[in-house]
Structure 1
Amino acid sequence: MASVFSTPADLPASIPALVMRAAHLHEGRTALEDAGQCVRYDQLPERMLEISRALMAVGINKGDRVALWAANSIDWVLLALGLQAAGAILVPLNTRMKGHEAADIVARSGARLAFVQEHFLGNDYPAMLAAVRPQSLERMVVIGTAPGAGDQTLSAFLEAGSSVTLDQAQARAAAVRSEDLSDLLFTSGTTGKPKGVMYTHGQSLRAFNEYVRIIGLVPGDRYLIVNPFFHSFGYKAGWLTCLLGGATILPLAMFDADEIFQCVAQQRITILPGPPTLYLSMLDHPRLATADLSSLRVAITGASTIPPVLIKRMREELGFELVTTAYGLTECGGLATICDPQDSAQTIASTSGKPIPGTELAILDAQGHGVPPGEQGEICLRGFHVMPGYFNNPEATSESIDAEGWLHTGDVGSLDAQGNLRITGRLKDMFIVGGFNCYPAEIEACLSEHPAIAQVAVLGVADPRMGEVGCACVVLRQGSELNEAELIAWSRERMANYKVPRKVVFYSALPVNASNKVDKLQLSAQLSA
């Protein structure tokens, strides 16, 4: 059985209610596993409510915001579930942030309490936040052995929960409704300060129940989650998906190809989601020929451009039975469209599939009118999974969601004859060469077909004659050779002249952000310098 809940009406009302249901449905199965520590599904409610009781003891009420600044771990999942069961709203913080960036989100979300990891990636997170601590933050609980610059350790915080009874915590959890906010995820902030996306329990459960069904997740699957939990790919398409389907959550704190090979072999991983960079790193790794990847069954990725040859190699060289791609953004909970796993490699590579049930998809021109199949326009979404709005920002909400309920994504794309979404790029990433609009993703898709190219990112750069021209940032496959003149000549035979990159820069690896996606802001800064 791929999905426990066959219709939206069958779904639990909230994430805490899902935990209670899963404890009975999957009793005896392992829910969480990491570094020898295991938590069974039937143990989850007690572990969740232990955290709820401590939060209630210090006065956290329904609707309060609680921040979580930590790397992927068992504690991350338990803390998130515990605060949601207390009726609070989860505010995840990006582990790549500096103190002032984290403090800004803590302040603007009005978080009263923050769970903060002691150390990660050489950073002392409590000290970074303490230096710029907002007055609204009443308590900083440190996930670690010493409070340091925080107020107390997690173990000391949990001890105080004994003043709240289990019955009181259960009653609070049972009172959480489908329409209550479950989380406040802040967008990346590439244009101004990050905006807090409000999202409800019911929206997440309905969308990712569909995800469970489509990818064919079954109880007992072992799901390695490298994608960071502060992002919807690691949180909702990660551990929440596992709870919906009865899979085992195996968190990995950071991307490391050697560790991934080891985890897959030793932990018998069956599902491995990630951005294309994850699979490219595996395919290019010297251990590939000797690694035991026989347990792998399902891969889920997402990006505007994925070479069809990558899908083929993932099946043939990494051994995945099922490979699919999906599209979404934080404002719609992280999932809007997904490919049918039975689609061809070409369809899975070149499109992001069709809308999930309950979702409308339209490609609109600048005047808000629909365009015919094959023509490009802005990708707009409407349905149950569109956010209620941005937190304390009605102006930004009205700019993103129009009067007819369409969410304007800022992404450019088209629909093929079968209704599959093809993403061309971001409106803001478009550059103009001699009066012609150029969309990076479209050019990247073509360049990715070159047999010597492992990965490519295209940006517009200033040019004194043309205003802007395309620059291709290229990583070559191991053992391949290619120079700038050869790639430009190859491109001229395959795309319109204005799309042909005028510059090519070769990299050993492209810079990536915390979600392991290519960081075009950093690339742009490097090229400008």
Structure 2
Amino acid sequence: MPAAPPPMTSTSVRRSAPRDTSAASRNIERGYLRGIRDGPRGRPVTWPCPTVTDRVVGSLAVTGPRHTAALLRRAARTHPDRQAYVHGEKDATYAWLDRAADGFAATLIGLGVAKGDVVCLLLPSSIKFAACYLGALRAGAITSALNLRLGAAEQASVFRRTRPKVTVVGDGARVPDGVDPGRVVPVTDLGPMLKAAALAEDRLPAIGPDDPACVVWTSGTTGEPKGAVYDHARMAAISANIGQLTEPGDRRLVVLPFAHVGYMTRMWDELASGTTIVLAGEPWSAAETLRIIRDERITMGTGVPTQWELVLAHPDLAITDFSALRVCGIGGAAVSPDLVRRMRETLGCPVLTRYTSTEAGVTTSTTVGDPDEIVANTVGRPAPEVELRIVSPDVRGVELPRSRTGEIVCRSPAMMRGYWRDPELTATVIDADGWLHTGDLGWVGDDGNLRIVGRLREMYSRGGYNVYPAEVEAVLADHPAVTQAAVVGLADPVLGEIGGAFVVAADPATPPTLEELRAWCRERIADYKAPDRLSVMEVLPVTAMHKVDKQALQGMGAD
């Protein structure tokens, strides 16, 4: 019987544990990563379609654990005392995390959770989030994590479709009205659950590589959240595609919420590499980021351009030691060559950009050694085992030659299985041959690097968060002072893109203000979807087809 884990909190100031750099530890981890990337006997692993093939499942069986919870067990035995998570003055070792996952899995099974049931996490990013996620995986459950910035209607939509057996609710969060959350577990009740005695192995469900592990939620083109389903094998494939952003024993600074695809689907990579995850402060600040990089000896940092600009402009920059940094990732918005150059020169490490999405996982990446212009103006070349094409946005399936702009489609073992309980929606983005249609527009140059030029649809990305105009327009149109509304994405030097709202006032004598409409939106949808600019017009311009002329509005917004 495993010993109970130590308490989650500490009353003493914790100092960072030294990075485990022993040759034995590095060799074990690198050997395992090579097995995942190369397959048995060094043969390349190929997945020509989203269905997990016998060859890939066999590869996982040869190289190590076949599912994420088993990989946690292996990590805990390989480096039990290494920090798995650091959050402020709290930390958790791999041994603690393994025991906590045992306890939560036993609790879930005791509550009647069976293999394939959904466990919903309505929690902020934290060590407890990680323990619950891994415990649910060990119980054979599917984890559905919700971004706490989603509006009540968006959260309710997720609950109605997932019908969770158990929902863990954090401080300050609440289950939306009118939904069935299953058994509600307040975060204050988690302590004893994480310390519960582990079940015997024969009482745990048998889990395979192709069993679903998580559902990652994002907004749909109409604003309704869509759930991308990932199984354990796909998470292993994502680990293989991370490339130079992962080294055994890394200490990685995480700035995105844990409900994001960048955390939910990278769990395999973190466990296989023995990574220490260091959480950024809430709310994010440049000063705290610099302190964490210095005090926690961060080796791998990520962020959106806005965050890196603020870091480079902070007064504490001159007194921060960046010597531990091995590589930094940047993405989520447009990146300038000047920012890449300043990051590289100031931080003293390579800077990489990638093309990722909730549905496609890691698709492309630049590499160490690429010039600043390539890092800034492209998203690199396809990751291992990723097939990428540029196709006509008008004639489905027609591939375009190099340097022609079209829709980006990809096929890989790292992409989602499909949308949660929505085969019809899945069929609109994954065709019969397994190609995922991203809805993004881009082109590939003679150098093999992918350039993103826009969205096939009207979505824009505000500071790394996707916003769909139709959803915001519907909310604005419900305001009593608005009779018509249109929203477009406008270029912004800080956030990459921001929302510009164009409305027709119900009473021209008392038009709505930007502050009024932003408050209205924040009460109904995620705060980052609220428009940043407002123009009140007598009429909205229309095309010959009597549709709102979005191109004309973008021109007005840019002036």
Q: TM-score, normalised by structure 1?
A: 0.75
Deviations 1:345-380, CA, capped at 9 Å, x for gaps: 111111111112221100001213111111100000
Report if aligned partners of 2:281, 2:289 keep a CA contact under 8 Å in 1: no
What does 1:53-202 align with in structure 2 at a 5 Å threshold? 53-118=106-171, 124-126=172-174, 129=175, 132-135=177-180, 137-144=181-188, 153-155=189-191, 157-158=193-194, 161-162=196-197, 166-168=199-201, 171-172=203-204, 175-202=206-233
Aligned residue in 2 for 1:300: 329
* Alpha carbons of structure 1 residues 182 and 475: separation in structure 2 relative to 1, 3 Å: closer
Q: 2:410 aligns to what?
A: 381
Q: For 1:247 and 1:206, how far apart are their aligned partners in 2?
A: 17
Q: Distance in 1 between matches of 2:225 and 2:258?
A: 17
Q: Are residues 1:217 and 2:217 paired?
A: no
C-alpha deviations, 1:46-83, integer Å up to 9, x for none? 12111100001100010001111111111111110000
What is the alpha-carbon distance in structure 2 between the residues aligned to residue 521 and residue 29 of structure 1?
A: 39
Residue pair 1:297, 1:322 contacting (<8 A) in 2 also: yes
By how many angstroms is 1:469 displaced?
Answer: 10
Contact 1:209 / 1:244 at 8 angstroms: preserved in 2? no
| 2:330/2:354 contact within 8 Å kept | yes
Single out whichever of 518-527 and 336-345 deviates more from structure 2: 518-527
Q: Note if 1:285 corresponds to 2:314.
A: yes
The one-letter code sitting in structure 2 at the alignment partner of 1:522 is A
Q: How much does 1:139 deviate?
A: 1.2
Unaligned runs of 5+ in 1: 119-123, 145-152, 431-439, 445-456, 460-466, 477-512
Shift of 1:262: 1.4
* Residues matched between the structures, number: 436
Q: Deviations over 1:310-335 (max 9, x none)?
A: 1111111233x121111111112x31
Q: CA deviation at 1:216?
A: 4.5
Aligned counterpart, 1:450: none
8 Å Cα contact 1:109-1:196 kept in structure 2: no
Q: More relative contact order in 1 or in 2 (CA 8 Å, sep 6+)? A: 2
Q: Offset of 1:418 from its aligned partner?
A: 2.2
**What is the one-letter code of the residue matched to 1:138?**
G
Q: Secondary structure at the match of 1:314?
A: helix
Paired residues of 1:228 and 1:253 also in contact (CA < 8 A): no
How far apart are 1:384 and its partner, in Å? 1.5
Quote the offset at 1:133 in angstroms.
4.8
Amino acid at match of 2:259: F
Deviations 1:400-420 (A, max 9, x none): 111221110000000011221
In structure 2, the partner of 1:7 is: 35
| Cα distance in 2, alignment partners of residues 80 and 15 from structure 1 | 10
Task: Tell whether the 8 Å contact from 1:339 to 1:348 is kept in structure 2 after alignment.
Answer: yes
Matched residues in 1 for 2:239 and 2:491: separation? 36
Deviation at 1:179, TM superposition (A): 0.1
Deviations, residues 251-273 of structure 1 (Å, cap 9, x unaligned) = 23532212111111221211111
Amino acid at match of 2:230: Y
1-side partners of 2:489 and 2:83: how far apart?
50
Task: Give 2:407's aligned amino acid.
Answer: E
Structure 2: 5+ residue runs without aligned partners? 1-25, 37-58, 470-485, 496-520, 538-559
Match status 1:358 vs 2:390:
no
Q: Which residue of 2 aligns with 1:347?
A: 374
**2-side partners of 1:230 and 1:347: how far apart?**
30
Query: How far 1:158 sits from its partner (Å)?
Result: 4.9
| Alignment counterpart, residue 265 of structure 1, candidates 294, 302, 322 | 294
Distance 1:209-1:253 versus aligned 2 partners, 3 A rule: farther
Residue 411 of structure 1 aligns to a residue whose secondary structure is strand
CA contact (8 A) 1:66 1:114 kept: yes
**Candidates 307, 325, 340, aligned match of 2:353:** 325
SS at match of 1:191: coil
Q: Deviation of residue 210 (structure 1)?
A: 3.0
1:248 and 1:51 mapped to 2: Cα distance? 21
- Distance verdict in 2 for CA 1:65–1:24, change over 3 Å: same
Task: Give the partner amino acid of 1:142.
Answer: P
C-alpha distance after superposition, 1:404-452 (max 9, x if no partner)? 211100000000112211111111238xxxxxxxxx99xx9xxxxxxxx
Check the 8 A contact 1:73/1:252 in 2, yes or no.
Answer: no
Q: Which amino acid aligns with 2:350?
A: L
Q: Give 3-state SS (helix, strand or coil) of 1:230's partner.
A: coil
Quote the offset at 1:36 in angstroms.
Answer: 3.2
Q: Deviations over 1:65-123 (max 9, x none)?
A: 111111111111111000011000010101112334323212211112111111xxxxx
Which range moved further: 198-207 or 518-527? 518-527
Name the SS of the counterpart of 2:321 in structure 1: coil
Helix, strand or coil at the partner of 1:195? strand
Residues 1:7 and 1:158: Cα distance change in structure 2 (over 3 Å): closer
**Cα distance, 1:269–1:377 mapped onto 2, change above 3 Å:** same
Contact 1:11/1:206, CA 8 A, preserved across alignment: no
Question: Alpha carbons of 1:286 and 1:84: their partners in 2 closer, same or farther (altered >3 Å)?
Answer: same
The verdict on how the C-alpha distance between 1:223 and 1:469 changes in structure 2, with shifts beyond 3 A counting, is: closer
Residues 1:315 and 2:360 are matched in the alignment: no
- Cα deviation, residue 228, structure 1: 0.9
Query: CA–CA distance in 1 between the matches of 2:403 and 2:190?
Result: 54
Give the structure 2 partner of residue 37 of structure 1: 90
SS of 2:84's partner is strand
Residues of 1 paired with 2:456 and 2:398: CA distance? 17
**Structure 1 counterpart of 2:388, one-letter code:** L
- Is it true that 1:236 corresponds to 2:265 in the alignment? yes
Q: Note if contact 2:364-2:383 (Cα within 8 Å) is conserved in structure 1.
A: yes
| In 2, Cα distance between equivalents of 1:235 and 1:179 | 16
1:115 corresponds to which letter in structure 2? V
SS in 1 for 2:411: strand
Indicate how the Cα distance of structure 1 residues 38 and 404 shifts in structure 2: closer, same or farther if over 3 A, else same: same
- DSSP-derived class of the 2:225 partner: coil
2:541 matched residue in structure 1: none
Paired position in structure 2 for 1:486: none
Q: Aligned letter for 1:328?
A: T
Could you report, residue by residue, the CA deviation over 1:247-295 in whole angstroms, capped at 9, with x for unpaired residues?
A: 2111235322121111112212111112222211111223222333333
Tell me what 1:501 maps to.
Answer: none
Counterpart CA distance in 2 for 1:468 and 1:83 is: 40
Residues 115 and 407 from structure 1, CA distance in 2 versus in 1: closer, same or farther, beyond 3 angstroms? same
Match of 1:425 in 2: 454
Structure 2 CA distance, aligned partners of 1:257 and 1:423? 28
| TM-score for both structures, normalised by structure 2 | 0.72
Q: Which amino acid aligns with 1:301?
A: I
